[in-house]
Structure 1
Amino acid sequence: MTVLRIFLTLMKPVGLIYLLWEYKLPFLIKVRETIALTYRVMTKRKGEILVAYTKNHPAYNIIAHDPPPGIVLVRLSSRLKPNFLLNFLAARIDICYEDAPTPVTLRTNQPIVKESECPYFNKEFLIDPQVKKIFVYSHWAKPNSPDPDAKMEILHPAPILKKVKPKLESKRVTIFMSGAASGRKGADILYQAFENVESKLAGQYQLFLILASNYKSQEEFYPVNPECSERIQTLYKKCQSKKNTYWGRVYPPRFVDYIYDHSDIYVLPARFDTCPFSVFEAMASSLPIIVSGIQAFPEMVHHGENGFLIDANNYDDLQSQEYFDHAVRQLEEYLTILIKDPALRLQMGKASRNRVEQKFNVEYRKNRLKEVFEEITTAKN
């Protein structure tokens, strides 16, 4: 774990370069995406469908990197502004495939396919004739709104199913959490529960904790109150002095796959979330899952089958000290069960993998997108 901490710390400067390249240098982003669009337009074959998508997210990128036959995807961020060249290129786009709040800025009259991970999208999409389909990530994300044209359909995100390194029954247990914003994702809940379990089981197990999370991150749509923020900062400082814990960003992002392979339990005690892709990745890595029983989590994790759900039903304010104490107690209980019972860890991990293979299947997702894109293109022509 000490070696891993040193590696992750040394990789932080690399992470800054990655962030600058991926998000913080608008000019480079525009150049990169203009080149990509030009290439896709010039190399498009007869009969192929050119689809522009907007969101840099695994649910989209997986499809873009290995698209179904006859479908070509190109990512266009909302930073691109129309000009003569881009308007000419954009006219060759067949379909705009958009995250609900992030439109393709270059679109004209192309048909639109929307995706939404929560039920709070603009309901005008349901009657907008340009929007042909709205995929929602879960039953929770499907709003109870009139849908006269039956546009809404549940289409779950799906991870790539890689060969999984066999998990071993061992007294060395690594607990992993991945989530950008520590407050919203509940990193403080996990850290405190881990400390409690570590104290209770002192000397019996080798316990390690990796929190791939940014304790400073704040999000406009989920502001963290001062009490919760102060708690996070206090626990973060405690974490820095421990050799068996790491709390911070992980770079390069692909290194997260290595951590999944070498972890034993995945935990995400989020206070608010939609349908986090990290849980799908953890399930695909044959890990038992502990998550909050909110939003779409119960559709991903069946309590007692492939993991445990932290009960949040009786709490209105999930940032309160009262909920924090409750969540820590429950998480401590579930962690103790899984740490003490390696056979149960393996059993639940296998159940996680089976659920991904059967319900959150990437090939089904690809084929369904292909069907919809072809139906829309045929109708347009």
Structure 2
Amino acid sequence: MLDSPKRLFIRGLNSFLNYKRVTFFFFFLHFSLFRIFKPSKKVVLFNKLHPIYSDFFLNFKTSKVTWFYFDPNWRNSLLGKFALKNCHILHLDHSAFKEEYLKFGKKTVIECEGLAKNSLFEDPRVSALLFESKYSGRVQLNKPKSFLVYPAVKNYSTFKPSEKNKLFTIISVGYGSYLKGFDVSFEVFKRLKKEGFKVKLIIAGTLGHNFEDYPEADRIAYQKSCDIIDEMLEYSKTNNDLIIKPFRKHDMIAKLYPQADVLLHPCRMETFGFTILEALSFGIPVVSVKLKAIPEMVKHGVNGYLINSFNWDGVSPIDEDAMNTPEWFDITVNESVKFIKQVDGLKRFELDPQFTYSNRMKNLESIYFS
């Protein structure tokens, strides 16, 4: 049976008015009006979607620059090309970088989570390569066009929660129970309870395990982790001092961080550690491992404690196999328990200025306008 003209019209309208098209329409409208009515401001198109970056780009106001998020899928459309031709600066994510962006002749800044392609340093069309940590740029920060520009977070250290939890509250945050070390967090929680501490653990994330996801992991260590995760799930069904659930960004800021006494982040793998930065912005001490960029945020004995589970020198390439063993697990649990007992002795601290919005903006403006 053929569809009626009315049904075909409605189906076509729904197809046209899909989320992506509506989003692009409002982007183009906003972009065009901005270029007409505020021609003196520099327009920067960015395509880095991680909330830490997008929160900064979309919420930090400056008299010289405004940012627009540009979906990489728009670049080949006529309106997308119009935006690329009429912006002033491209601020691109290295992982989503395409050579075709360079043909528009705009000042191009590329932000890197890890090492950058060597060809980008030699390409005169690339103005700057930004590294998010000393570790990520450890062998390239001495090259021309390289800059260390840390991610930034809003400073919440003066935020006052409406109600403080009576129990000493440990939080662990992230997605990927094995990578984020939620099994370690639960073992630490059990150890503290066994020693008589009144403690609560909140796992802000999701649990699960799949051997195929972590082929590099020691099978014995990974099976132990899986067993602990299963035990966690069973325990949480009958005890209210263990909460396991994902939190939305708003709820993390309004509810999760304000009630926390410490962030326990015993990760087996990390790119930067944005969760750590968020916790520190609330003045929450952090107990974590000495890994990649984490020592650049956590200063041992000042705003938290670092566990050096496999004697990393802070410079050499990470041997992640060493973090997937029973020995790593035992050391990390023991050290976490020891350091959590010491966090009350830390003095009050403020967010390190190098991770503030104003410092990131100062660094970016010096690069944009150089």
Give the TM-score category using the shorter length: 0.7 to 0.9
1:36 matched to 2:30: no
Q: How big is the shift at 1:145?
A: 3.7
One-letter amino acid of the counterpart of residue 326, structure 2: Q
Q: Pick the structure with greater CA Rg.
A: 2
Any idea what the Cα deviations from partners look like across 1:17-60, whole Å, max 9, x if unmatched? xxxxxxxxxx6245414421431233222121111111222134
* 2:126 aligned residue (114, 127, 131): 131
Equivalent residues of 1:178, 1:212 under 8 A apart: yes
What is residue 270 of structure 2 aligned with on the other side?
273
Are residues 183 and 128 of structure 1, via their aligned partners in 2, closer, same or farther at CA, if it must alter by over 3 Å?
farther
Match of 2:110 in 1: 114
Counting only pairs closer than 5 Å after superposition, residues 78-97 of structure 1 correspond to structure 2 as 78-80=72-74, 82-97=76-91
Residues 298-318 of structure 1: per-residue CA shift (max 9 Å, x gap): 111111121110113348420
Instruction: Report SS of the residue matched to 2:171.
Output: strand
> Unmatched 5+ residue regions in structure 2?
1-17, 313-318
Partner of 1:366: 361
Superposition map of 1:86-235 within 5 A: 86-103=80-97, 107=101, 108-109=103-104, 110-118=106-114, 120-145=115-140, 150-162=144-156, 163-165=158-160, 172-201=167-196, 204-205=197-198, 207-216=199-208, 225=217, 227-235=220-228
Secondary structure (helix, strand or coil) at the match of 2:230 reads helix
Structure 1 position 254 matched with structure 2 position 250? yes
Alignment partners' CA distance in 2, 1:232 and 1:213? 16
Alignment size in residue pairs:
333
Q: Please, which of 328, 337, 340 is the counterpart of residue 333 of structure 2?
A: 328
Distance 1:105 1:211, change over 3 A: farther
Q: 2:64 aligns with which of 67, 70, 73?
A: 70
Instruction: Give the match's secondary structure for 2:168.
Output: strand
Call closer, same or farther: CA 1:369–1:81 in 2, change over 3 Å. closer
Aligned counterparts of 1:66 and 1:186: Cα–Cα separation in 2: 33
**Does the Cα contact within 8 Å between 2:60 and 2:357 map onto a contact in 1?**
no
Letter in 2 for 1:233: C
Code of the aligned partner of 1:183: Y
User: What TM-score comes out, normalization by structure 2 length?
Assistant: 0.81
User: In the aligned structure 2, how far is the partner of 1:372 from the partner of 1:158?
Assistant: 16
- The equivalent residue for 1:50 is 43
Gap runs ≥5 in structure 1: 1-26, 376-381
